[in-house]
Each structure stands twice: as structure tokens, then as C-alpha cells.
Amino acid sequence: MVYYNNFIIDSAKLLENVAQIKSNIGDAKLCAIVKADAYGHKSAVVCDILKDVVDYFGVSSVMEARAVRISAPDTHILVLGKTAKRDYFYCSKNNIDIAVSSLHELEDISSVLRRLKLRVHIAVNTGMNRYGVSDIAAFRQMLDYISSHQANIKLVGVFSHFATKSTDVDFIHAQFDKFMEFTADLPRGVIRHIASSYVANNIPSMTLDMTRCGYSLYDGKENILSIDSKVVEVIDVDPGQSIGYDRTFTADRNSRIGVIPIGYGDGFDRRLSNNFKLYSCGQFIRVVGNVCMDCTLVDLTDTKIGLGDTVEILGSHITYSDYAKALSTSNYDVMLKFRYRRMNYIVK
């Protein structure tokens, strides 16, 4: 089945972004963050492209890890969120590392696995106040416990998570200093990782042994995703006539209204109603009326744009930042809004 909407992944640009990250981080390992379906880009495809060029895949849950393991049978996987006791066996048998934040979790691993070994990364809370051990004495207790239970627990890494980016660089440095205090006496070979996409690009001295990059994989040097649609209907509207649900737009002149078959069911946010411009045939065109679940209306008056013409939804003229500004949100939020399931998913 063919749709009018195209969701296009540029594999060359993805690899170019990875190359750029690697040039910034030197010899440090790279953990590609592919949680949330690779930030909405489709993890099966992204992992297949990257499985031989990154050291780790980072996910949020064991459910995501299972999907990634199918696409990447041999690449290390790290579950950054919580792992339930019932999933310890699966992770142990499938070479999946998990994050731990407490002595209690380590005790659970030992009691559940007994004869199997599980690879763990200790999460340290340096200021995000979400996951992680906050007290250095408790952290050392965890290290001691692992040292005495090496039959079924292997310490692979220690990590933390930055709470901010360019908005508060001083806090980044404070978090980094706290992390270095925690990790000053780690056993040899344990991977220290705290660096994010922002840090990899701007403070490479903080990359340490591994960098976890998410956003810069998908919109770093290049944006790997473009989305386009078509004008599938053109309607002549007289002055005084309204269009769309709730009649939020009324024509004040003879108007040509185009119908684009992409709506909030595809991630084109309803708050863009009367509040955004798309791009077609060399010019921007206004969104008019309320965005519908399955389509969006645009004003084609004073243009030569017609039936069948291509409309850029995301690409070289319309960026994540444009959407973020219109929606008063972050680029991350925008990136995850678009859904490919009702589009032609194309990898080039």
C-alpha cells in the first residue's frame, strides 16, 4: 500500500553524524541511544545501520533491549532505566547490561541468579535527582558487595546523567566534579560515562571512557529525517466561508485552500493550527484552520501550487527548531512527535 506521506531516513547522514561524534570523542567508546524507537526514527533500522560502528546501544527498558537484540545480535546493550527481577535471567543470557542504583538491587541479583552472571553499571546521582546512588559511602558499599559477589555480578561501568546543557554550564561542571569524586578509585577497566551529545560536541574533556549520544545521532551535523506530503485536494472558498473543525479560520477574500493528508494522527501537532507554515514549490504556505487527525489545510491563494505538488513537512527549509518555537517545547519533544506508521518508510 502506498501513502502520500514519505518518512525518509538518510543512512549516509546518520553515519556522517556518528563520524562527527567519534572525531570529537577520540578513543572513547560510543553508546548510541536508541530508546523510544530510536527517538521515533525506528530502532530496527537505526540499529542495523549502526551495529558495526558503535560500541553500545542504550535503551530505557528491557522491552526495548529485546527489540534491539534482534536487530543487533552482537552489540553491547545497556538498559538505563529500571530492570525488574524477572528480567535478570534474560539479560544475563543475552549479554545485556543493566543499571543499578542501590545495594538492595545488587542483593536481588545475587539471590535470583545464583549461578549466572549479570553485567551492571552503577548509576550515580550527581544532580539530576532521578535515578542513582547519591551518597558516596553507599556507593562504596555497592563496590564492596560486587567485589565479594563476582560469581554473579560483573561491574562493567559507572555513570551519571547531566541535568542541563548550554543553559547552565556551571552546573555541568559541578556534576562532573562530583562524578569524578565518586569514581576516583574504581577498579581498572571499569567504564566511566557521563558525557551527553552536548558535552561531546562542546566539552570533549568530559568524555572519559564512553559517551552516550542520542539527539546528535539524529540531528547533529545533519538531520537524518525528512518528511514530505502532497496536495491531494484544492478547494475554492468564497469570502466569509469558514474551513475545518470549529470554524477557526474564515476567508476574507476569494481563496484557494489545499488539503495535505497529514495530521495530528501522524504527529503534526494540533497546536500548529493557524500557527505554522509549510514549504512547497519555493515558497512558504500558511496552515489555516484546525489541524485534523488525518489532514491539514493550507492557504494556496496567490501561489501556483496545485494538485499533486510536493509539500515539505520537515527538511532543509523546516527544522525541529521551527516546530519547537511554534509549540513552545524542546527539539527532543518535536523529534518524537512524528510517527511513521501511516507513511511510506524509506531508507536511502
Q: Who's near 236: CB < 8 A, 6+ residues apart?
A: 254, 255, 256, 257
How would residue 105 be classed by pLDDT, with cut points 50, 70 and 90? very high
Write down the domain spans for the chain. 11-219, 225-347
How would residue 166 be classed by pLDDT, with cut points 50, 70 and 90? confident
- Mean pLDDT score, 247-255: 97
Q: Is pLDDT of 1 > 80?
A: no
Percent of the chain's residues with pLDDT above 70: 99
pLDDT, tens only, 11-33: 999 999 999 999 999 999 999 99
**What whole-number distance in Å separates Cα of residue 194 and Cα of residue 213?**
10
- Mean pLDDT score, 217-242: 97
Helix, strand, coil tally for the chain in percent (to 5): 35, 25, 40
Q: What's the CATH number for 225-347?
A: 2.40.37.10
pLDDT, tens only, 44-95: 999 999 999 999 999 999 999 999 999 999 999 999 999 999 999 999 999 9
Nearest to 219 by CA among 4, 68, 10: 10
| ∠ Cα 214 218 222 (to 5°) | 135
| ∠ Cα 317 340 282 (to 5°) | 20
| ∠ Cα 306 310 315 (to 5°) | 140
**What whole-number distance in Å separates Cα of residue 53 and Cα of residue 18?**
8
How would residue 167 be classed by pLDDT, with cut points 50, 70 and 90? confident
How would residue 345 be classed by pLDDT, with cut points 50, 70 and 90? very high
Question: How high is the pLDDT of residue 3?
Answer: 85
How would residue 165 be classed by pLDDT, with cut points 50, 70 and 90? confident
* Architecture of the domain whose range is 11-219: Alpha-Beta Barrel (3.20)
- Mean pLDDT score, 310-319: 98
SS3 207: coil
Higher-confidence residue of 115 and 80: namely 80
Q: Is pLDDT of 2 > 80?
A: no
Q: Is pLDDT of 132 > 70?
A: yes
Mean pLDDT of the chain: 96
Helix (H) or strand (E) holding 321: helix 320-327
Question: How high is the pLDDT of residue 324?
Answer: 98
pLDDT, tens only, 170-180: 999 999 999 99
Nearest to 15 by CA among 7, 23, 25: 23
